[in-house]
A and B are shown apart, each in its own frame.
Chain A
């Protein structure tokens, strides 16, 4: 033991110890003198020595002498090895070395000096798969590792590792998600894979296309083609709707950037949801051909809502309805009024009258598809055409068309709609022997469903419509009908045994409406008579048309899509607006589900956005394909689907070594070209950052039971001798 290793750590100040020592010595001397009178010198000295030794031991015990031992310890730094499994890692690596992932695997595990083994000499190595999410690996996991559908997110991975590792070795081809914004103090060393100078590929880099287009109006999209290894190439870009070729145009790839942009314009002919595809032909020597085509969904809507109205007889109902429809610039109205019945007698030759024949065959066999809404206004079809002409109408509605029947004497069961295709389509059935009653005054009121339905939920300017319906003049003519199970009554007569006045329903993909009266015009003139605004009449007509034609702006549930295209593996967030009226302050009940085209459920989350009636529906598409979401509320539901094709950007498999260089440079790391350089640089780095520290151990000398036993032994021996020598 070296005395330099001994330090004192007194439990009380040193001066106090010295005073105690002096006092002890003095008291021992006094005791010596007292015992000397009764005992011999030797015995007195013996007792004095024992007492003195005991007290000295106790005082030294309070000084707490401690033996301190120091030694230097060195600790290995921690290195995270991130092995990228982005889709690009499945592409060919350096010549003869298989895929880039196989190339990485060989570097890490194989050869006379495997990288992982070499690094373990200087580092505490932790192996991770850079996918989504970051996943810890064992060495034995490496042989079974495959490239994933999603690109690894380097920034997220480094944020996760920050603070727990000293450095990162990134083994990647550079096709990952990443930029130069990282947590500070974490150097990234990169080992690039693949051969940029040998890589040849043509891909669709971006497609800038509208998500909505109008039928018959030119739509345009910009397509950017990127080429690696094909400078100056002229290549045709084709746009198809299914198998139908819409447009083809050549684009020349720039000599320097390798890019070329072309605008493809086309005129959508059919409304609906279309899946368009953009493609370029494969070139000789291309590494990847799957990125030569991409698809996108485009919703085509009509420029104007085309309405075909057939009216059974000239009437004020027709004139006011015509006025309302004509005043709406978004509606294109074609109407036919039956001016003459077969029973009427004409007293003039053809050239003296303006009557035209109702073009039944043309309308119902050829042109029906050109309309969005068909209206039968107080019209008995059986008087003018054979029932088989109603079959195309049924198909039209089944495929998503809209159909409205406005009542009156012409809207009759027997001899009218009964037994025809329309009886099946309508959401009502006749409830009385007579088809039309014109004798009593019928007030109207909103049904329970009508209070929240978009058709009858008028604007706040009309006090949400609640009081409005009571102010309206009574109806004098009504068709006594009852709703079918498929029908929803929105307005009903206000008498005790109420009759449905306005009933809506659906048939196939289409929507159907029955207004069981021909007195709707009185609601317009009734308000005018009271000197009040007549906007409610126009609004009701407008909302009927928009609801029937499934105008998205009138849906109870509206879905707004993000501007950026959805990407596989990345969260997609839809903004859902619920226009349902809150009842007594209760939050509207809402639920949502997301499914793939195969019907498999996709985990999703629906949460309030913080704005009134607005929610955020988020889910993560894991693979390309159609995704369908359904949102349900008390007042209605909405189901939509969308093709998520990975992205509107083709997958670029070009080994992006420049990105890796930038990442390493900005983080304080280095880009390493091969195994030897990697081991050399990292070993050197490991040396420089090796953690060294001094370990200190303290051994209190007096805090042992032997010292205490010695004190007790001295005291016991003194007591024994005193007793033996007759002092006690």
Chain B
């Protein structure tokens, strides 16, 4: 299935690549308030799904009022602009080198001051590879706040769509995990390879097949992505009392 926007993008790509590209950091001094900032780390494979941004941003702009940049920004943990990234994205398949003390301190300060990190184990191998390295870093950065399964009433499951399970290219965990500090979850972690489900090549074809759920599962991956992004920008807004009767009524149907 190809979306209307995908079709248009494809047509434009054929007309000329220069016209296709969205605004780039080099040409625009200040990006819109939402964009992906993907962390480049040492060792392993920091960019397992290089083509995930555009489809999820298209979907985001189609469904929500959020204006976003369809170009991701890649940065190391020593980037001076690091604290102004609205949405840090960390992904990989394999083990990576431990962060330095300074990198951990920077990341801790960022996350403790309201920053947000979405991390993905695209391989989905529990206890091995990326998962092992990421769990290690979380323990170092948040020694008193371990990574835990987010409860079903967590705001991330209701920030835009009402979700009862989470899936991506694969369905390793039907839920999200996260580190929660008081009422805010600065780190959300998935092993379902959401970005793999979002990825689309330049000809408009999905890069990966979603298993076992197929396109329904891909649609769920987009919904989860939108919910995570909206959560990163609104926090526990959906926990406000004014929303309770509406959400409860819809969940009871």
Residues in A with CB closer than 8 Å to B84 are 473, 522, 525-526, 529
Q: Give Cα distance in the complex from A258 to B32, angstroms.
A: 78
Asked if A335 lies at the interface with its beta carbon under 8 angstroms from chain B, I say: yes
Known pairs A314-B65, A319-B234, A336-B242. 7 more at Cβ < 8 A? A313-B66, A315-B34, A315-B233, A316-B233, A350-B250, A353-B160, A528-B109
Asked if B203 lies at the interface with its beta carbon under 8 angstroms from chain A, I say: no
**Residue on A with the closest CB to B234?**
A314
| A344-B65 CB under 8 A given contacts A354-B158, A518-B33, A529-B83 | yes
Interface string of B235-253 (1 = CB under 8 A from A): 1011010110011001101
What are 20 of the A-B contact pairs (CB < 8 Å)? A314-B234, A315-B33, A317-B33, A319-B234, A320-B114, A322-B234, A322-B235, A323-B114, A337-B237, A340-B64, A348-B223, A351-B251, A352-B162, A352-B250, A439-B28, A439-B29, A473-B84, A525-B84, A525-B114, A534-B113
Residues in B with CB closer than 8 Å to A441 are 29-30
Residues in B with CB closer than 8 Å to A344 are 62-65
Residues in B with CB closer than 8 Å to A318 are 233-234
Q: Give Cα distance in the complex from A378 to B233, angstroms.
A: 14
Q: Give Cα distance in the complex from A93 to B132, angstroms.
A: 101
Residues in A with CB closer than 8 Å to B238 are 354
Residues in B with CB closer than 8 Å to A353 are 160-162, 250
**Residue on B with the closest CB to A408?**
B33
Instruction: Check A339–B64 contact: CB distance below 8 A.
Output: yes
Q: Which of B33, B63, B114, B161 has the most CB of A within 10 A?
A: B33
Q: Give Cα distance in the complex from A352 to B230, angstroms.
A: 16
Asked if B92 lies at the interface with its beta carbon under 8 angstroms from chain A, I say: no
Asked if A39 lies at the interface with its beta carbon under 8 angstroms from chain B, I say: no
Interface string of A294-335 (1 = CB under 8 A from B): 000000000000000000111111111011000000000011
**Residue on B with the closest CB to A333?**
B240
| A313-B65 CB under 8 A given contacts A351-B162, A525-B115 | yes
Q: Give Cα distance in the complex from A315 to B29, angstroms.
A: 19
Interface string of B141-153 (1 = CB under 8 A from A): 0000000000000
Q: Give Cα distance in the complex from A316 to B253, angstroms.
A: 33
Instruction: Check B29–A476 contact: CB distance below 8 A.
Output: yes
Determine how close the nearest CB of chain A comes to the CB of B33; give it in whole angstroms: 5
**Residue on A with the closest CB to B219?**
A347
Instruction: Check A528–B110 contact: CB distance below 8 A.
Output: yes
Give which listed residue, B67, B160, B219, contacts A339 with CB less than 8 A: B160
Asked if B159 lies at the interface with its beta carbon under 8 angstroms from chain A, I say: yes
Instruction: Check B83–A525 contact: CB distance below 8 A.
Output: yes
Q: Give Cα distance in the complex from A338 to B67, angstroms.
A: 12
Q: Give Cα distance in the complex from A314 to B110, angstroms.
A: 20
Instruction: Check A340–B161 contact: CB distance below 8 A.
Output: no
Instruction: Check A439–B30 contact: CB distance below 8 A.
Output: yes
Asked if A355 lies at the interface with its beta carbon under 8 angstroms from chain B, I say: yes
Q: Give Cα distance in the complex from A334 to B243, angstroms.
A: 11
Asked if A438 lies at the interface with its beta carbon under 8 angstroms from chain B, I say: yes
Residues in A with CB closer than 8 Å to B28 are 439
Q: Give Cα distance in the complex from A356 to B249, angstroms.
A: 12
Instruction: Check A314–B64 contact: CB distance below 8 A.
Output: yes
Q: Give Cα distance in the complex from A354 to B63, angstroms.
A: 13
Complex interface residues of chain A between 84 and 122 (CB less than 8 A to chain B): none
Residues in B with CB closer than 8 Å to A524 are 113-114
**Residue on B with the closest CB to A320?**
B114
Asked if B86 lies at the interface with its beta carbon under 8 angstroms from chain A, I say: yes
Q: Is the interface of A mostly helix, strand, loop or mixed?
A: loop
Q: Give Cα distance in the complex from A335 to B232, angstroms.
A: 16
Q: Give Cα distance in the complex from A715 to B65, angstroms.
A: 138
| A354-B83 CB under 8 A given contacts A340-B63, A528-B110 | no
**Residue on A with the closest CB to B106?**
A529
Asked if A694 lies at the interface with its beta carbon under 8 angstroms from chain B, I say: no
Q: Give Cα distance in the complex from A53 to B219, angstroms.
A: 155
Asked if A19 lies at the interface with its beta carbon under 8 angstroms from chain B, I say: no
Residues in A with CB closer than 8 Å to B109 are 528-529, 531
Q: Which of A313, A316, A524 has the most CB of B within 10 A?
A: A316
Asked if A74 lies at the interface with its beta carbon under 8 angstroms from chain B, I say: no
Q: Give Cα distance in the complex from A344 to B230, angstroms.
A: 15
Determine how close the nearest CB of chain A comes to the CB of B88; give it in whole angstroms: 12
Interchain residue pairs A-B with the least CB separation, the first 7: A529-B83, A314-B233, A476-B30, A528-B113, A313-B65, A351-B250, A354-B158
Instruction: Check B234–A354 contact: CB distance below 8 A.
Output: no
Residues in A with CB closer than 8 Å to B128 are none
Instruction: Check A526–B83 contact: CB distance below 8 A.
Output: yes
Asked if A42 lies at the interface with its beta carbon under 8 angstroms from chain B, I say: no
Residues in B with CB closer than 8 Å to A526 are 83-84
Residues in A with CB closer than 8 Å to B251 are 351
Residues in A with CB closer than 8 Å to B41 are none
Determine how close the nearest CB of chain A comes to the CB of B174; give it in whole angstroms: 17
Instruction: Check B233–A319 contact: CB distance below 8 A.
Output: yes
Residues in A with CB closer than 8 Å to B86 are 316
**Residue on A with the closest CB to B28?**
A439
**Residue on B with the closest CB to A322?**
B235
Complex interface residues of chain B between 8 and 27 (CB less than 8 A to chain A): none
Q: Give Cα distance in the complex from A476 to B25, angstroms.
A: 14
Determine how close the nearest CB of chain A comes to the CB of B95; give it in whole angstroms: 29
**Residue on B with the closest CB to A531?**
B109
Asked if B99 lies at the interface with its beta carbon under 8 angstroms from chain A, I say: no
Asked if B96 lies at the interface with its beta carbon under 8 angstroms from chain A, I say: no
Q: Give Cα distance in the complex from A473 to B235, angstroms.
A: 24
Complex interface residues of chain A between 487 and 534 (CB less than 8 A to chain B): 518, 522, 524-526, 528-529, 531, 534
Instruction: Check A339–B240 contact: CB distance below 8 A.
Output: no
Residues in A with CB closer than 8 Å to B62 are 344-345
Asked if A341 lies at the interface with its beta carbon under 8 angstroms from chain B, I say: yes
Interface string of B203-223 (1 = CB under 8 A from A): 000000000000000010001
Determine how close the nearest CB of chain B comes to the CB of A320; give it in whole angstroms: 6
Q: Which of A315, A438, A524 has the most CB of B within 10 A?
A: A315
Q: Give Cα distance in the complex from A529 to B105, angstroms.
A: 11
**Residue on A with the closest CB to B161?**
A353
Instruction: Check B158–A340 contact: CB distance below 8 A.
Output: no
Residues in B with CB closer than 8 Å to A356 are 242-243, 246
Residues in B with CB closer than 8 Å to A522 are 84
Instruction: Check A339–B246 contact: CB distance below 8 A.
Output: no
Q: Give Cα distance in the complex from A441 to B233, angstroms.
A: 23
| A354-B246 CB under 8 A given contacts A524-B113, A531-B109, A534-B113 | yes
Asked if A583 lies at the interface with its beta carbon under 8 angstroms from chain B, I say: no
Instruction: Check B30–A319 contact: CB distance below 8 A.
Output: no
Q: Give Cα distance in the complex from A518 to B66, angstroms.
A: 14
Asked if A461 lies at the interface with its beta carbon under 8 angstroms from chain B, I say: no
Instruction: Check A338–B234 contact: CB distance below 8 A.
Output: no
Q: Give Cα distance in the complex from A345 to B66, angstroms.
A: 13
Asked if A346 lies at the interface with its beta carbon under 8 angstroms from chain B, I say: yes
Q: Give Cα distance in the complex from A319 to B159, angstroms.
A: 13
**Residue on A with the closest CB to B61?**
A344
**Residue on A with the closest CB to B83?**
A529
Residues in B with CB closer than 8 Å to A315 are 33-34, 66, 233
Q: Give Cα distance in the complex from A477 to B247, angstroms.
A: 35
**Residue on A with the closest CB to B246?**
A356
Interface string of A576-600 (1 = CB under 8 A from B): 0000000000000000000000000
Instruction: Check B65–A348 contact: CB distance below 8 A.
Output: no
Residues in A with CB closer than 8 Å to B66 are 313-315
Instruction: Check A340–B82 contact: CB distance below 8 A.
Output: no
Interface string of B29-56 (1 = CB under 8 A from A): 1101110000000000000000000000
| A477-B233 CB under 8 A given contacts A323-B114, A340-B65, A353-B161 | no
Asked if A704 lies at the interface with its beta carbon under 8 angstroms from chain B, I say: no
Residues in B with CB closer than 8 Å to A346 are 63
Q: Give Cα distance in the complex from A441 to B29, angstroms.
A: 8
Residues in B with CB closer than 8 Å to A354 are 158-162, 238, 243, 246-247, 250
**Residue on B with the closest CB to A347?**
B63
Q: Give Cα distance in the complex from A543 to B115, angstroms.
A: 24
Q: Give Cα distance in the complex from A316 to B30, angstroms.
A: 15
Instruction: Check B161–A312 contact: CB distance below 8 A.
Output: no
Give which listed residue, B113, B223, B233, B240, contacts A525 with CB less than 8 A: B113
